[in-house]
């Protein structure tokens, strides 16, 4: 039987809280924490540690996702991108600055959109937003 995992948007209000929710539900039993970035989230979804075998099919339901869509919307995305400016390679600064300008106009993808896209890119995951 396919595993069913639920993330609850009521359990967090920011990106750090999202990562905590992922750890509580996808990496139980590990004696280390996942990286606090979207690449690490992508790795967790692949499996191979925590509660999933590598590429193990499972259902991931994100309840209260409308709350998360707001919490991880533009007000969270813009500071995330601005922080990225301080750590990205100098060659990437113009691109990040352009992305910030678009975000300030409500254009492009939010953190929520990026997380949803990353999750949907995994064919072994049945992903449900509710």
Pinpoint the alpha helices (H) of the chain: 15-26, 38-46, 65-71, 74-87, 93-104, 111-120
Angle formed by the axes of helices 93-104 and 74-87, to 10°? 170
Residues 18-66 pLDDT 10s? 999 999 999 988 888 889 999 999 999 999 989 999 999 999 999 999 9
CA atoms of 45 and 118, how far apart (whole Å): 9
- Cβ atoms of residues 127 and 120 within 8 Å: yes
**CB of 27 closer than 8 Å to CB of 34:** yes
Q: How confident is the model at residue 28, as a pLDDT?
A: 83
Query: pTM to 2 decimals?
Result: 0.95
């Amino acid at each position: 039987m396919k595993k069913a995992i639920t993330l609850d948007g009521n359990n967090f209000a920011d990106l750090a809280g999202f990562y905590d929710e992922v750890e509580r539900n996808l990496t139980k039993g590990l004696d280390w924490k996942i990286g606090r970035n979207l690449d690490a989230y992508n790795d967790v979804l692949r499996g191979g540690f925590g509660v999933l075998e590598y590429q193990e099919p499972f259902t991931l339901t994100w309840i209260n996702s409308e709350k998360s869509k707001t919490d991880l919307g533009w007000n969270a995305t813009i500071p995330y991108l601005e922080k990225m400016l301080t750590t990205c390679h100098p060659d990437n600064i113009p691109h990040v600055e352009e992305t910030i300008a678009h975000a300030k106009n409500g254009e492009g993808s939010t953190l929520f959109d990026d997380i949803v896209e990353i999750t949907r890119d995994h064919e072994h995951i049945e992903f449900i937003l509710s």
